[in-house]
Amino acid sequence: MKIAIMGAMPEEIAPILEELGTYKTTKYADNDYYEATYHGLDVVVAYSKIGKVFSTLTASTMIQHFNCDRLLFSGVAGGINPSLKIGDLIVATKLSQHDLDITAFGHPMGFVPGGSVFVEADKDLISLSKEVAKELGKTVSEGVIATGDQFVHDEKVKKNIVKHFNADALEMEGASVAVVCKSLDIPFFILRAISDTADTDASFSFDEFMESSAIISAEFIMKMVKKLAK
Ligand code: SAH
């Protein structure tokens, strides 16, 4: 087993690299990839840069170039479900691209021919996350994550995303990573800690809580990796 551990921003993988201690850095496709062994398990870590295109490239590279056969994403998200507070963890059960719109042709939002509105995350990895949550005595929500190439900071946009996808949280990379993993038949898991609630104050909240939430997510992901190593 070789695990890809991905984030979008440097802050999202910094706690992971710190936990690994030593690693080998390889440059590929204009990005840095960090290879290491963690409790006997081979891992490759990278941050993609923000958005669907960069995250697609990185997920695909980790699988096709570095031969990873599982992918775990750790990062932050805007909360939509009012039960989600800053720092809370949410596991994606399924993901959708909220900005994929060919509704002019009668298709539902998030759909293109040959694709599907939602991509489901791996059930075994979700079960593993439940075991980890139980062991840590931590509450981890599960729900729908909507992804698009925009930082959402507007109630109206949020409401529209709920209307079409019934999403619980939103971010900018999860669904594109999901599409890559599904197409290449690689089990994947997307975890996010809430950094803001995607409203008018979102950018301020993000700046204040992004780093602490990124740590919460990264620590949980590394507990999962440790369990996978057993
Ligand atoms: N502050 C950064 C930009 C952050 S973009 C800069 O100036 O460079 C937001 C990042 O966090 C994305 O990677 C996205 O996945 C996640 N995210 C957190 N809150 C979000 C929100 N309200 N809308 C969209 N993405 C959000």
Active site residue 171: no
What is the CA(156)–ligand 1 centre distance, in A? Answer: 18
pLDDT at position 48 is 98
Cα(1)–Cα(183) distance, integer angstroms: 19
Half-sphere exposure of 66 (CA within 13 A, CB side): 34
Closest atom, ligand 1, to C-alpha of 12: 13
Reference 193, options 119, 112, 135, 133; nearest CA is 133
Predicted model pTM: 0.98
| pLDDT tens sequence across 8-30 | 999 999 999 999 999 999 999 99
Torsion, Cα of 63, 68, 73, 74 (10° steps): -130
Q: What is the DSSP string of 113-154?
A: TTS-S-EEPPHHHHHHHHHHHHHHT--EEEEEEEE-SS----
pLDDT digits (tens, 9 = 90+) for 97-147: 999 999 999 999 999 999 999 999 999 999 999 999 999 999 999 999 999
Q: How far apart are CA 77 and CA 90, in angstroms?
A: 9
> At 112, phi and psi to the nearest 5?
-135, 150
Binning pLDDT at 50, 70 and 90, where does residue 230 land? Answer: confident
Q: Which residues line ligand 1 (CB under 6 A)?
A: 8-9, 50, 75-78, 151-152, 170-173, 195-196, 198, 202, 206
What pLDDT shows up at residue 114? 98
CATH superfamily for domain 2-229 = Nucleoside phosphorylase domain (3.40.50.1580)
Mean pLDDT of the chain: 98
Alpha-carbon span 77 to 172, nearest angstrom: 8
Taking only the tens place, the pLDDT of each residue in 135-192 is 999 999 999 999 999 999 999 999 999 999 999 999 999 999 999 999 999 999 999 9
Only one residue has tokens 């096709």, namely 64
* Catalytic-residue membership of 124: no
pLDDT at position 180 is 98
List, in sequence order, the alpha helices (H) in 47-201: 52-64, 123-136, 155-165, 174-183
pLDDT of 56 above 90? yes
Residue closest via CA to ligand 1's atom 26 equals: 171
